[in-house]
Structure 1
């Protein structure tokens, strides 16, 4: 006979969602180091293996979980609970252990990097989320992981691995009263921390237009995908979106299956509705065979998903996926290990009772509910499309290394100093004394204010008055348009030649006006002022 099993599961309500700048991958790194031991429990992984316990750790966006499954006995339960209580607050989290574990973490990263589907999901999430940390996968950025500051990692551990941020689940074969006594013995002495966890307040704005990601890497199978922002798992509409995902992808009745696989546009389709603490995503993917058309597969996928408005969800479709979902709930509840895992995930989304609330919502969800949610969320402005294009030799721009600025500028010798200006008293009396006024033979009035300036710069302004009340009547638009066209070329010089001449003269020029006046303003240097003024005169 199969020996009864017991499951001990500890979930910390911290994941990649909680990481700050430069800390991506920190929650996942910490998961690895939690097996390296405490002063009282040497190498935890070795001890677990010696006791024949199945175990694992996993990191998500909203939680980090550790669990042990073992032959039911008071001794095993006592040891597992003692170990979990101990490593909650006494783990080494040392530089030595971090260095030794880095190879394992790198291998995990490289495994993901070699999986086109996994990388495409990462790229699509990154494109879909501008601000929220759901746009960053828990594995983290390679440079953040490789350069992690051990003091910051230890601070992360001390902040989040505390009893007020943890959920303990014991499932399977055990005596409840004895389990509660042992839990109190090992976890009760851990003091409630004085620190307060920082609130997470970043909300992702509603997406404001279609987005697209194209990934080119070595690979065999083409992929197309569509991602849509959705609701948190606690939302009353979450189950309707879950039902919609199943209606679209389940073989052989799924709408995407029939539109893509049955027509040979794709070899397989899949979909996921991510249940998360904050608003999440629903994603749909199709594998496109070699030589197949990604464009046709993508267009058929989008047309099927967003065509629900014209082809409403039916009661038959909802009943089919409802039956399967409720059967899954029964199977989960019948398995202590699966039940513990599901309760753990519900806690990460907000509360353990969400598991049962979700089951109850499955019993009631209607075709009208699914239709309403489909029309609300499966729309172009909420869509991010992804494509994976296999490429045996993908082109890349060169990787950029950091520049050692200190070395770069250590022996720098600059140009000769720029000619300095002089201080100037801008009072009305002094301005009047320094200003020269005269008129040209054609009647143009000229005002000059000589002054030694930094770099020999000269500022100039020209104002031309034109027309009279009668000649300008109804010609406001003509004046605006004429002024805006002046810099676009003359009889002698094209627009580009004017731009090149201004650059050569070290000058800047702007011209604007209306029906009554045209104004030119600019700057140049003293020695190029005559050339600049001649060009201005030509333009005008």
Structure 2
């Protein structure tokens, strides 16, 4: 997610706005080994969580932090790439742009100006399971920002001019960030399309240009009415505020909005993969070959899901990781190995099928099979015997550090992100305080069991990028 200081970035999956001047809005409110156990004395995460719902279905999470006079306001809508309508690929992303085109009382750019003149920053994004909008502001500007978010939830300025404008913006993004970019879409956009079989998980999330161009004004209005309703949203406020005062503002501005019956969410499940998949992508702009391997993840919330968070640390994260040590330090086959779970977010803020993915770039004289053999050798070490106590403890420390880093990321937005995700997905934002405990429960035996089941070759998708001038890589498994 791109940080925005003074403007909304025109970047992939971030909220975009035009530069056209707008009419003045109505005046807003005034600003005011053996089994290894965790040490019993180890501190546990305790994020304040005050959770309730309005009568119209809006989920509200308040998390007070008076360490600095600032606040994060985040509005999450339960609509993302996975459940956008068929024949309207990229529509969830297109509509994210539309939310910056003006609302009932705020014309074009006025929402952004309201944030900026109060010293705040803002952004938005489209992800697998949600579309979000957030602002980081001085806490004395909280009321007018709540008013503004409620105003665009109440009614969007959906016009033919705005639609055509943003169709052009999104089309240009696709061309700049994917079609005309070396390794465009690798592996974050390419891997789901190859690894998954269910259309909802496997279609082009960025959108085919023909589908983007075919979106009509009626489509946009229907999409807004259905998905951008309080009954399909979560509002999170993190920071320095008086809870009762804020609850009064939320009721005042969001309470009158009507509830909307939500359509049933589509089935996004994936079948168990029983045969390795391979796919080669020819790239006329690439200078070197690339390789990505993706393994289907355990279901969210299972013990194996938490074990994979530690597997990720052991195998992939940091220069001490096993894959980095083997492929970079020992063999010199690449200069870096990257990846993880959820390339568009983090290990925690999604709710559906996902891949754990590792990817790298390499010289043309290094074959895919050489690289896969080395990867398989590293993975086999986890599968063949439980990891030692020191390795497990290091993984736990890294995972806990990463979790705390996410929570504190971007001026406190990271905390709001997880609270909103858990409210939307599980009706349980307090889940945030159980993540660390679940990580500490993971044993060497569970890691070994998880590696055997989920890091199977049959559960793997191999994605290669071949420069168009080079001989094509074999696309069939040997």
Deviation of residue 340 (structure 1)?
Answer: 1.0
Q: Output one character per residue of 1:71-114: Cα deviation in whole Å (capped at 9) or x when no partner.
A: 220xx211111111111130122221111122321232123311
Residue of structure 2 equivalent to 1:400: none
The answer to whether the Cα contact below 8 Å between 1:209 and 1:381 also exists between their aligned partners in 2 is yes
Residue of structure 1 equivalent to 2:417: 341
Select which of 400, 406, 410 maps to 1:326: 400
Q: Output one character per residue of 1:343-396: Cα deviation in whole Å (capped at 9) or x when no partner.
A: 22334543423322222111221111111111111112211001111235899x
Q: Trace 1:320-399 onto structure 2 (pairs within 5 A).
A: 320-333=394-407, 336-350=412-426, 351-392=428-469
Select which of 332, 337, 348 maps to 1:264: 332
Select which of 215, 219, 228 maps to 2:286: 219
Residue of structure 2 equivalent to 1:191: 258
**Are 1:295 and 2:369 counterparts?**
yes
Select which of 47, 57, 60 maps to 2:124: 57
**Are 1:48 and 2:115 counterparts?**
yes
1:4 to 1:107, Cα distance in 2 relative to 1, 3 A: farther
**3-state SS of the aligned residue for 2:294?**
strand
Higher relative contact order (CA 8 A, sep 6+): 2
Cα distance in structure 1, aligned partners of 2:193 and 2:132: 24
**3-state SS of the aligned residue for 2:293?**
strand
Alpha-carbon RMSD: 2.3
- What stretches of structure 2 of length at least 5 have no aligned partner? 1-66, 473-478
Deviation of residue 202 (structure 1)?
Answer: 4.1
1:364 to 1:118, Cα distance in 2 relative to 1, 3 A: same
The answer to whether the Cα contact below 8 Å between 1:234 and 1:354 also exists between their aligned partners in 2 is no
Q: Output one character per residue of 1:161-209: Cα deviation in whole Å (capped at 9) or x when no partner.
A: 111111101111222111111111000111222x232232242111131
**3-state SS of the aligned residue for 2:124?**
strand
Cα distance in structure 2, aligned partners of 1:34 and 1:267: 41
**Are 1:116 and 2:183 counterparts?**
yes
The answer to whether the Cα contact below 8 Å between 1:266 and 1:288 also exists between their aligned partners in 2 is yes
Deviation of residue 332 (structure 1)?
Answer: 4.5
Cα distance in structure 1, aligned partners of 2:186 and 2:104: 39
Q: Trace 1:115-154 onto structure 2 (pairs within 5 A).
A: 115-116=182-183, 118-154=185-221
Deviation of residue 252 (structure 1)?
Answer: 2.7
Cα distance in structure 1, aligned partners of 2:116 and 2:219: 30
Deviation of residue 214 (structure 1)?
Answer: 0.5
The answer to whether the Cα contact below 8 Å between 1:256 and 1:301 also exists between their aligned partners in 2 is yes
**Are 1:25 and 2:102 counterparts?**
no
**Are 1:281 and 2:358 counterparts?**
no
TM-score of the pair, normalised by structure 1: 0.68
Q: Output one character per residue of 1:26-71: Cα deviation in whole Å (capped at 9) or x when no partner.
A: 1111110001111311122344334432000100110011001112
TM-score of the pair, normalised by structure 2: 0.76
Select which of 121, 138, 157 maps to 2:224: 157
**3-state SS of the aligned residue for 2:161?**
helix
The answer to whether the Cα contact below 8 Å between 2:384 and 2:448 also exists between their aligned partners in 1 is no
Residue of structure 2 equivalent to 1:308: 382
Residue of structure 2 equivalent to 1:91: 156
Once structures 1 and 2 are overlaid, which stretch shifts more, 152-161 or 138-147?
138-147
Cα distance in structure 2, aligned partners of 1:122 and 1:336: 28
Matched positions, count: 391
